[in-house]
Amino acid sequence: MCEITIRVNCPYWHGVKVVKNGMKRTGRQNFMCRLRRKQFQLEYAKAGCRPAVRQLVLGMLVRNSGGRDVEEVTGVHRQTVLRWLNQKAESLQVKPRLEAYKSVQMDEVWTFVGQRKKRKRWLFYAYAPETDEVLAWSWGNRSQNTVRKLYRQLQPLNIGWLCSDDWPFPPGTPTGKAPGGKGLHQEH
């Protein structure tokens, strides 16, 4: 008889101080990283439980993949994807590559989170077509506070033209309100 030894590293922090930590209801061995006291399994039954898949999902969302696209590619249910987005929304930050942009387009998308039609959530974002990047975003309800969060993130940037779909500019913007539609631009 021979003994097979498997070296187990923590999938989150790659630590080697890992101990067995009981069995799951599914009969799978549970491990715990002693460094960070985080539990994990070697193999997960569901795709959404794997740490690498979660990172992939969040990366796809940052690159503007839709919830259903993420579900199709990763196998993680779209409600799980939206829950992760909701959890991470406040801590995610975008760093623009440049300090000045010729034009910036602002737009919004919405989705239901949790209970249908009761928790409509909005993602407001500013996009620079010249560099193909999202400069700033704000996640929340459709209120002036959510839009103000987006404008605060854009303040340090030097923007030549600001394009929107009839969004009101915040008080203190030199030229006032923007004309409607993305075809028309507002000097900022």
In a domain, 13, yes or no: no
In a domain, 4, yes or no: no
Q: Are residues 115 and 71 in the same domain?
A: no
Q: Which helix (H) or strand (E) holds 152?
A: helix 144-154
Q: 3-state DSSP call for residue 24?
A: coil
In a domain, 183, yes or no: yes
Q: Are residues 65 and 110 in the same domain?
A: no
In a domain, 114, yes or no: yes
- Residue predicted with more confidence, 3 or 170: 3
Q: Which helix (H) or strand (E) holds 35?
A: none
Q: Are residues 110 and 31 in the same domain?
A: no
The CB density around residue 150, as the number of other CB atoms within 10 Å, is 22
In a domain, 10, yes or no: no
The CB density around residue 139, as the number of other CB atoms within 10 Å, is 19
Q: What is the mean pLDDT of the chain?
A: 76
- Which of 35-49, 99-113, 145-159 is the most confident on average? 145-159
DSSP, res 5: -
Q: Are residues 107 and 183 in the same domain?
A: yes
Q: Are residues 110 and 177 in the same domain?
A: yes
In a domain, 95, yes or no: no
What percent of the chain is modeled with pLDDT above 70? 77
- Tell me which residue has tokens 């075809």: 183
Least confident segment among 31-40, 83-92, 161-170: 161-170
- Residue predicted with more confidence, 177 or 14: 14
Per-residue pLDDT at 73? 86
- Tell me which residue has tokens 């009981």: 22
Phi, psi (rounded to 5 degrees) for 148: -60, -35
Phi, psi (rounded to 5 degrees) for 67: -60, -40
Per-residue pLDDT at 171? 52
Query: What are the pLDDT digits (tens) for 101-134?
Result: 888 888 877 776 555 666 677 778 888 888 888 8
Contact present, 125 and 107 (Cβ < 8 Å):
yes
